[in-house]
Amino acid sequence: MPNPRALVRRRKAVSNTRKITKTMEMVSTARMARAQAATLAARPFARRLREIIGDVAAHSTGIKHPLLEEHTSPRTAVVVVLTSDRGLCGAFNANIIRQVRALHSKLKARGLAIEYLVQGKKGVAAFRYLQIPVTKSYLLVSDKPSYARAEEIAGALIGLYTQGAVDEAYIVYSQFRNLVSQVPKAEKLLPLTALETPAQAPEARRALSMGYLFHPGAERILSELLPQVVMLSLFTAMLDNAAGEHSARHVAMKNATEAADEMIKKLTQTYNRARQGKITQEISEIVGGAEAL
């Protein structure tokens, strides 16, 4: 028969754990709402900017830009990895690291030397476990996306790429879709060979592009806006990753709270049965002693 006192202690411990998970669920819910709003607000602007720049680049014949040109015989690549600083968010970080390992294998198969820029303590710890060196790490900033930080990282990547020190640049993050779906994604940042074009028929795109007048010139426009595309792509990835982190933690803490409720319910039932059995046993002993007298 279970010990009622042990059951009471265990139920109390589970109740204390439930208070923590419920509090974390409420905090994640508030942060998740802000992160989702920022992500959904930034996406249309980023997509439209890439469409416009892609259309301008496609119809600017004879114009070249270093960020649009692929390096011949690539030798080096830089991968920016976005993870979280805190855990308790399910398989959020594990899925990102799995995507990193897949990309790592592909780049190594091509003979590229890889450098990693890692955001988040969980990512740094995972790279340490995998014995993969990290060139630079950004800690305690995963849930605070900053355009200044995106501008700093993107500016460094653009400088290395234009100088020829880096031949390719990638970013690995978790793309936010909805509350229960965060998809790990590896995206190519440099060169900008996959710019989007407006979702129109070819005839409509040609008719639209015929009306372009460039001032002070297409080259000047591209030189100003193409770096902004890289920076905005990195910043929207940070926003996506933050929204995904809070959503994953909200779901994980909600599941933990529900599991704690179920465990408390079962422990209470077990305690009541044990207590009832002990009372019945004591009554039987009293009755048996009285009959013996």
Cα 147 from chain centre: 17
CA distance 164 to 76: 9
Q: What is the C-alpha end-to-end distance of the chain, expressed in Å?
A: 29
Q: Beta strands 113-119 and 136-138: pairing type? A: parallel
Query: 26: how many CB neighbours lie within 10 A of its CB?
Result: 13
Query: pLDDT tens across 230-276, in order?
Result: 999 999 999 999 999 999 999 999 999 999 999 999 999 888 888 88
CA distance 84 to 31: 14
Cα 290 from chain centre: 71
Extract the residue ranges of the chain whose pLDDT is less than 70: 1, 57-63, 194-214, 217-218, 290, 292-293
Q: Strand order in 113-119's β-sheet?
A: 136-138, 113-119, 76-82, 168-178, 181-190
Query: pLDDT tens across 169-190, in order?
Result: 999 999 888 777 888 999 999 8
Domain annotation covers residue 90: yes
List, as own/partner pairs, every contact residues 95-99 make where C-beta atoms lie below 8 angstroms and the sequence separation is at least 24, other chains included.
Answer: 95/174, 95/182, 95/184, 96/123, 96/172, 96/173, 96/174, 96/184, 97/123, 97/126, 97/130, 98/184, 99/172, 99/184, 99/185, 99/186
Domain annotation covers residue 127: yes
Domain annotation covers residue 208: yes
Q: Residue 42's pLDDT is what?
A: 85
The residue behind tokens 């469409």 is 51
Residue 191's CATH number:
3.40.1380.10
Domain annotation covers residue 11: no
Integer CA distances (angstroms), 234 to 81, 111, 201, 264, 286, in order: 11, 25, 29, 45, 77
Please classify residue 132 by burial: count the beta carbons closer than 10 Å to its beta carbon, then call 0-12 exposed, 13-18 middle and 19+ buried: middle
Tokens representing 136 are 């630079």
Q: Residue 57's pLDDT is what?
A: 66
Q: Residue 200's pLDDT is what?
A: 46
Q: Residue 35's pLDDT is what?
A: 86
**Helix/strand number for the chain, H first, E second:** 6, 5
Domain annotation covers residue 278: no
CA distance 211 to 196: 19
Please classify residue 153 by burial: count the beta carbons closer than 10 Å to its beta carbon, then call 0-12 exposed, 13-18 middle and 19+ buried: buried
CA distance 245 to 262: 26
Q: Residue 52's pLDDT is what?
A: 74
Our count of domains for the chain comes to 1
Q: Which residues contact residue 182 at a Cβ distance below 8 angstroms, ignoring those fewer than 6 apart? A: 92, 95, 174, 175, 176, 244, 247, 248
Domain annotation covers residue 222: yes
CA distance 252 to 51: 37
- CB–CB of 42/250 below 8 Å? no
Domain annotation covers residue 137: yes
Q: Residue 90's pLDDT is what?
A: 87
pTM, 2 dp? 0.82
Domain annotation covers residue 242: yes
Q: Residue 169's pLDDT is what?
A: 94
Q: Residue 133's pLDDT is what?
A: 93
Domain of residue 185 covers 43-250
Q: Which of 115, 134, 112 is nearest to 125 (CA)?
A: 134
CA distance 33 to 66: 39
